[in-house]
Amino acid sequence: MMHSPRDARAELLALGARGVDWAAPSRTLLDPAHARQAAVLVLFGVLDSTPAGSSAPVAGDLDVLLQRRSATMGHHAGQIGFPGGGVEASDRDITATALREAVEETGLDPTGVEVLGTLPQLGLPVSNNLVTPVLAWWTRVSEVAAVDHREAVDVFRMPVADLLDPGHRVTAVFHRDGREYRSPAFQVGEVLVWGFTALVLDRMFDALDWAVPWDRQRTVDLS
């Protein structure tokens, strides 16, 4: 069944209310007593350019906001991710953190963003963060770009249909501390989404019943 943008917004709203089981026990925090609270903005909307050509179960013009982190960042350098960052004392709540960080990193107009809800926290051991994904919908689109190149070098809107395309799904294989890890990933042209961001998207797509079966034996070696 094809999900229109209006359907997608309603389904995301419902997902924010019921939550997601991340099923990621290997992501236990290395130092939970000193973990930093953080948030990311998972912002969906409708593309104003040529939609993706795909047989995915969502409208071709449904998109999600992503950015490429600077190669000089201390953690997750060069990776594709959601806008976001750590909680500051001035933030009234976790959604304010996600919106503030998105404004600082992408320049979006927050008055055109509707917060739909939050998903359960997910531990990110590499940077020792407890991250809350904040679901949002773009009610009025504003221009975005990499504002601070010390943090991000590119900001773009990725068609969700491209992420769901089975030909763009891979398993990322990487090694850390002598152990091998495997996680879902998305390879769309030269854009590789893996790690925390890919895990969030993968679990969300499953929970939303948007996912399309794909070959989990097709791998990308990141070592």
Domain of residue 100, CATH code? 3.90.79.10
Q: Among 90-94, 124-128, 190-194, 198-202, where is mean pLDDT lowest? A: 124-128
What per-residue confidence (pLDDT) applies to 55?
Answer: 54
Distance CA 139, CA 142 (A): 10
Residue 112 falls inside a structural domain: yes
Looking at the structure of the chain, the number of domains it has is 1
Distance CA 163, CA 204 (A): 12
What SS3 class is residue 136?
Answer: strand
Q: Among 47-51, 120-124, 160-164, 179-183, where is mean pLDDT lowest? A: 47-51
Q: Is the pLDDT of residue 20 over 60?
A: yes
Decide which of 26 and 83 is more confident: 83
What per-residue confidence (pLDDT) applies to 118?
Answer: 97
81: containing domain:
5-159
Confidence of residue 133 (pLDDT cuts 50, 70, 90): very high
Residues whose CB is less than 8 angstroms from the CB of residue 105 and which lie 6 or more positions away in sequence, other chains included: 67, 83, 85, 146, 147, 148, 151, 152, 155
Residue 148 falls inside a structural domain: yes
Q: What is the value of pTM for the model shown?
A: 0.89
What per-residue confidence (pLDDT) applies to 187?
Answer: 96
Residue 204 falls inside a structural domain: no
- The residue-averaged pLDDT of 70-83 equals 70
Residue 211 falls inside a structural domain: no
Residue 106 falls inside a structural domain: yes
Residue 75 falls inside a structural domain: yes
Residues whose CB is less than 8 angstroms from the CB of residue 67 and which lie 6 or more positions away in sequence, other chains included: 80, 81, 82, 83, 105, 106, 146, 152, 154, 155, 156
End-to-end CA distance of the chain: 38
What per-residue confidence (pLDDT) applies to 9?
Answer: 93
Confidence of residue 84 (pLDDT cuts 50, 70, 90): very high
The Cβ of residue 40 has, within 10 Å, a number of other Cβ atoms equal to 25
Confidence of residue 75 (pLDDT cuts 50, 70, 90): low
Q: What percent of the chain has pLDDT over 90?
A: 63
Residues whose CB is less than 8 angstroms from the CB of residue 210 and which lie 6 or more positions away in sequence, other chains included: 3, 56, 57, 58, 160, 164
Counted residue by residue, the chain has a size of 223
- The residue-averaged pLDDT of 162-175 equals 94
Residue 19 falls inside a structural domain: yes
Decide which of 47 and 132 is more confident: 132
Tokens 């590499």: give the residue: 126
Residue 140 falls inside a structural domain: yes
